[in-house]
Structure 1
Amino acid sequence: MNSVEANLVDTTARSANAPTLALPVAAAAGIEAWHVESPVVPMIALAFTFEGGAAQDPEGKGGVAQMLARLLDEGAGDLSSDAFQERLAARAIELSFHAGADAVGGSLKMLVKHADEAIDLLALALAKPRFDPDAIERVRAQTLAGLRYQQNDPGVMASRRFFAEAYAGHPYARPSSGTPESIAAITRDDLVAMHRKIIGRGGLKVAAVGAIDADRLADALNRAFGVLDEAGPLNAVPQTQVGQLGRRVVVDIDVPQSVLRFGMGGVPWKDPDFIPAYVLNHILGGGSFTSRLFQEVREKRGLAYSVGTSLVSHRASAMTWGYTATKNERVGEALSVIGDEIGRLISDGPSDEELQKAKDYLTGSYALGFDTSTKIAHQLVQISFEGLGMDYFARRNEMVTNVTQADIRRAGARTFADGRMLVVAAGRPTDFL
């Protein structure tokens, strides 16, 4: 671990009044980045995200945002796809893009001596992607091959059906990777329109970590992002909640073990009750070997190899989401155990000892997410994207430590409600519906 990582990690344990090492750097083009400088290793990690993702896909053309992300480095400016990739490889520059429900993002990692060329290539990829026909068809073929493969994956099929049921009629119901029909329908014009809508300065968040000072970073920001337009306007994505609670759905796949996805209400990351809900989720199913579900479902009954829950926070919705897999004939028993544990937390809450152990683990393990410059950059840009404030790293552990039983009960009432869940099983479960 280098000095910047060690210092930022130390920041997570400080009080709310402690300064964070992440400092704002503003460029002339109106772009601001969170910056952590360290000269120890001659490398720079850059992370960035643009507002607007798969939820912006046109109706009937799911997968446009994801195809856009996959095509941004497939040729740009006067460089073909092969030429662009050769320039990256010649300087060991790592550039990648990705798309989620609410954002298109990316990362850049380079040696300091190659920073100027890396920034120029990033600027080309963002401002002047070629969208050559051969590149589009290659990415389309790869996407379709992946979708065909996923049709035999119970986990993927269960997840897709869960979101389709939970958010029926909402953009979040569409799979971000699209469907065979929607991918086949995407045109170059769709990609150009999505690029114009999303890739711009208006919804941009940036973080930089490594051996670059503020002045050089400001210049890099201007060169990489200052050439972009404002982008937009984005389609409004209405607020929604997980629907069809209490319903059970089967995706028929001829396998001996059913894969389960289950979910209920949640709390957005920016909500004051998120940290209590996060601690509660750790106790229920987020705590791996120590969680209630792991102990009851796997250790005591041998119903599943893996079981867990996590909090999902999108721009327009939040939920508590869980997973497991068990033999078809034991699906009903597994769900009964999961429901019983949720019911116990609703009626009794966790014990004081459970609560303290959860808080101790969550504060003590937080530093593990900051062991590389790339991880730090992505953490910074995510916190910026969520609007949590630059001092979040200094406040986070204190907020976890201060969670009380009353906070847990309030968060539980918002997430668990009456205990009903939407459950999707991919397989041929018995004793389920």
Structure 2
Amino acid sequence: MRFVFAALAAALAALPARAVEIQEVTSPGGIHAWLVEEHSIPFTALEVRFEGGTSLDAPGKRGATLLMMALLEEGSGPLDSQGFAAARESLAASFEFDAYDDAATVSARMLTENRDEAAALLKQALTDPHFDADAIDRVKGQVASIIGSNDKDPGEIATRAFDGLAFGAHPYGSSRFGTLDSLAALTREDLVAAKAAVLARDRLYVAAVGDITAEELGKMLDDLFGGLPETGAPMPPRAEMGLSGGVTIVDYASPQSVVMFGQAGIRRDDPDFYAAYVLNHILGGGGFAARLMDEVREKRGLTYGISTWLAPMDLAETWQGSFSSANEKVAEAVRVVRDVWTKVAAEGVAEAELDAAKTYLTGSYPLRFDGNGPIANILVGMQSEGLPVSYVNDRNSFIEAVTLDDVKRVAKRLMDADALRFVVVGQPAGLMATD
């Protein structure tokens, strides 16, 4: 199986994005999917997303969706957890189940010769999981270990504090794992309810890449998903942005502090998104070439690294960044970030910075298409974001079309140093917390 994956990656690594020919498939039962046929190797990758994810956790049941997804391979149909694992291994198939803020995800890899049997096993996991008491207790223990580790990780503490400030009581404002208390209180009935809420056809996105035809995929779609409920739980409302400018300090005994910072962001479907995307690359997304890296690390030695990213989620948008710094240097680093934010908002960026960003962003894009799995993941992401099949061919033209005036206008529109919230986990010297 490893040889198949490696050979396929090598075969596709050199393909430019424009070589990906996407078919839109509708099954006889009306289930939609995107397909890229690649018959040179007898292997298919399937990526599935159920919109809503952990934000569909019922009130007081935080962590239920993630725990439910983790238990799908812990016994189903006539098989217990060990029997399911043995059946999957005998088919040389791979299944991964997970849950995030906006989606519950399934990744499946299967050989053509075993495809029908692998799909039947996957269907069994999706439609007839046991949720046995011993499996629930075992997986709860694994999740509890993650929660305990996260409670001691300054980066995780910073992220959780930032999310709480940004999104409050909305599901985005708390960890998808839940807390030790919420996890311990979850029952089998809660998991059954979470499955019904999340695993439904009205929020389903599917992409397949590999040795499968449109007709074969259509049959597989109905076999896999036809037995799922037609509708799930209503989607939660948009999150109200609670961020305001200032500094939050979380005391943590360490010689250095971890800093998360951010402000309101921009929607993925906003006409200015591509200009903002290029601007972010120049500001903090471009590694050593980024403006913040130059000012905070190269010129002043205040950190080993600093980065920023746009986070346009389904129900809220933020523009975030992070860095770590020695406690005695944090205050200066925060000041420099604010100064850079203010300067770029007022002046925009240099033409050389824009040209370099566009060259990198357009040149690196085809490198993402380096195997069945990555391509399937890109395609299912495009669907969930409402992008057309032509996007893989058009995307670079959107980047190329961004002008210096666009970047300057968007910087002035979006960037507000006074609105930046810094969450500092550590014991920073000379930095005061503010409301």
Alpha-carbon distance between aligned partners in 2 of 1:143 and 1:121, rounded to the nearest angstrom:
25
Q: CA deviation at 1:305?
A: 1.1
Matches within 5 A, 1:88-103: 88-103=88-103
Q: Does 1:322 align with 2:321?
A: yes
SS across alignment from 1:376: helix
Alpha-carbon distance between aligned partners in 1 of 2:11 and 2:221, rounded to the nearest angstrom:
24
- The corresponding residue for 1:339 is 338
For 1:101-128, what per-residue CA distance to the aligned partner results, in whole angstroms no more than 9, with x for missing partners? 1110111001111111110011111111
User: Is contact 2:341-2:417 (8 Å) kept?
Assistant: no
Alpha-carbon distance between aligned partners in 1 of 2:64 and 2:76, rounded to the nearest angstrom:
18
- The corresponding residue for 1:204 is 204
Q: Which amino acid aligns with 1:405?
A: L
- The corresponding residue for 2:213 is 213
- The corresponding residue for 1:51 is 51
- The corresponding residue for 1:15 is none
Alpha-carbon distance between aligned partners in 1 of 2:419 and 2:235, rounded to the nearest angstrom:
32
For 1:250-288, what per-residue CA distance to the aligned partner results, in whole angstroms no more than 9, with x for missing partners? 111111110000011211222221111110000000001
- The corresponding residue for 2:228 is 228
Matches within 5 A, 1:7-406: 7=15, 9-11=16-18, 21-241=21-241, 243-406=242-405
**Count of matched residue positions in the alignment of Structure 1 and Structure 2:** 424
SS across alignment from 2:177: coil
- The corresponding residue for 1:16 is none
CA change 1:126–1:305 in 2 (3 A) is same
Q: For structure 1, which segment, 36-45 or 413-422, has the greater mean C-alpha deviation from structure 2 after superposition?
A: 413-422
RMSD, aligned CA: 1.5
Alpha-carbon distance between aligned partners in 2 of 1:146 and 1:236, rounded to the nearest angstrom:
26
Q: Which amino acid aligns with 2:365?
A: Y
Alpha-carbon distance between aligned partners in 1 of 2:165 and 2:42, rounded to the nearest angstrom:
49
Q: For structure 1, which segment, 378-387 or 265-274, has the greater mean C-alpha deviation from structure 2 after superposition?
A: 265-274
Alpha-carbon distance between aligned partners in 1 of 2:366 and 2:60, rounded to the nearest angstrom:
43
Q: CA deviation at 1:425?
A: 0.8
Alpha-carbon distance between aligned partners in 2 of 1:74 and 1:304, rounded to the nearest angstrom:
44
User: Is contact 1:63-1:182 (8 Å) kept?
Assistant: yes
The two structures have a TM-score, normalised by structure 2, of 0.94
Q: Which amino acid aligns with 1:227?
A: G
Q: CA deviation at 1:84?
A: 0.6
SS across alignment from 1:319: strand
Q: CA deviation at 1:239?
A: 4.2
Alpha-carbon distance between aligned partners in 2 of 1:21 and 1:344, rounded to the nearest angstrom:
43
Unaligned runs of 5+ in 1: 13-19
For 1:194-233, what per-residue CA distance to the aligned partner results, in whole angstroms no more than 9, with x for missing partners? 1001101111000000111111111111111112121313
Q: Which amino acid aligns with 2:250?
A: V
User: Is contact 1:5-1:376 (8 Å) kept?
Assistant: no
Q: CA deviation at 1:238?
A: 2.4
Q: Which amino acid aligns with 2:354?
A: L
Q: CA deviation at 1:130?
A: 1.1
Q: CA deviation at 1:235?
A: 4.0
Q: Which amino acid aligns with 1:160?
A: R
SS across alignment from 1:337: helix
Q: Which amino acid aligns with 1:299?
A: E
SS across alignment from 1:202: helix
SS across alignment from 1:410: helix
User: Is contact 1:74-1:131 (8 Å) kept?
Assistant: yes
CA change 1:414–1:98 in 2 (3 A) is farther
Q: CA deviation at 1:135?
A: 0.9
CA change 1:418–1:331 in 2 (3 A) is closer
Alpha-carbon distance between aligned partners in 2 of 1:42 and 1:308, rounded to the nearest angstrom:
40
User: Is contact 2:91-2:114 (8 Å) kept?
Assistant: yes
Q: CA deviation at 1:418?
A: 4.8
Unaligned runs of 5+ in 2: 1-8
SS across alignment from 2:142: helix
SS across alignment from 1:377: helix
The two structures have a TM-score, normalised by structure 1, of 0.95
SS across alignment from 1:329: coil
For 1:2-29, what per-residue CA distance to the aligned partner results, in whole angstroms no more than 9, with x for missing partners? 666654x2418xxxxxxx6111111012
Percent sequence identity over matched residues? Answer: 40
Q: CA deviation at 1:419?
A: 4.4
Alpha-carbon distance between aligned partners in 1 of 2:249 and 2:324, rounded to the nearest angstrom:
13
Q: Which amino acid aligns with 1:45?
A: A
